[in-house]
Amino acid sequence: MSLTLIATVLTGAAVLALLVIGKSLLIPFAIAVMGWYIIDAIAAHIREIRIFGIQPFRHFSVLLALLLVVLLLSGVVQMIGDTVEQVSLAAPSYQDNISKILAQFSALTGIQVGPSLQHWASSLNLGKIIGSIAGAIMAIAGKAGLVAIYVAFLLLEERYFSIKLKIMFPDKQRRGRVEKMLQDIQIQIRQYLYVKTLVSALTGVVSYAILVWVGVDYAPFWALLIFLLNYIPTIGSMIAVLLPTALSLVQFDTFTPFVTLLISLGTVQMLIGNVLEPRVMGSSLNLSPLVVILALSLWGQIWGITGMFLSVPITVISMIVLGSFRPTRPIAVAMSENGRLRPVS
């Protein structure tokens, strides 16, 4: 085993240990980096807006992008809080419907519901469950301040990046290679976030129309949740289908809405996720599907739900960095979908 390979393995192990030990500090920073990418991308679009041949927002693009993101996040938090409160009030009626559904199931199948299941249905405290969800939301919101501080400092530091690179890499060739690597990362992450956001928004809008048509309670909230869950590869779309269909079981006293939602939402996810998204995304990411699944499992174990959301961007960045250096390039080739990577200069 070569010294380079040993050094790579030991470095990887050290990084993995650091990610686990320091996750309470690193998770907000990773979210802040993604937020910085989003703000930077929105600002770039705002700068391109022309009115009568001039660009009036050119010097205020970052501020306007930041304001837009803050307004959107405020609306999301408000919607989640209102929905949790409304579900808490409706919890008793939902709980009654669970018993009715179990009775209908026994009548349709002839299978007698066991005492343990009946006891579980009668003792199920949906209000307490909703309270737990609210507590989790408040815990996430509690980290928003730290994330905002990180984002602010990243925006302030952005203007000095090029100066620091010149000092860190006085050799022009080496500096050019690092700048190319950083540029590739920025392009790939922007492309991923842009396409994923458009596809997820389309999925959320179509799902919202279906939820309203069926008459499911809190359709805007579920559409928002479907939009967000689509950022989690593979299992996100499955959870996005199961959550509103599960609510339909306790909202209605019949199985028809449940079956309708399961088929219609499942079809939407399949068509958009498996047909439209691959065509729009193309081979821009060049990530192996197996690596995507493995990364989802790995980052889910390390950083929980946040790691699942960030698994694809982190894996893309890792592949670009590994592919930029000859000793680690074989690892990047294994991570890629077709094995074709940008030549190392």
With CA atoms as reference, report the closest residue to 133 among 4, 258, 225. 225
Q: Is 103 exposed, middle or buried (0-12, 13-18, 19+ CB in 10 A)?
A: middle
pLDDT tens for the chain, 345 residues: list them. 566 667 767 777 777 778 878 788 888 888 888 888 888 888 888 888 888 778 777 778 888 888 888 888 778 777 777 777 776 666 666 666 666 666 665 655 555 555 544 454 455 555 555 556 555 555 666 677 778 888 888 888 877 888 888 888 888 888 888 888 888 888 888 888 888 888 888 999 999 999 999 888 888 888 888 888 888 887 888 888 888 887 787 777 677 888 888 899 989 888 888 778 777 765 566 788 888 888 888 888 888 888 888 888 888 888 888 887 777 778 888 888 776 766 655
Give the Cα separation of 100 and 88 in Å (integer).
Answer: 20
Do 42 and 69 form a contact (C-beta atoms < 8 A)? yes
DSSP state of 188: H
Where are the domains positioned within the chain? 1-168
For helices 235-251 and 256-271, angle between their N-to-C axes, nearest 10 degrees? 160
Count of helices and strands (H, E) across the chain: 14, 0
DSSP state of 49: -
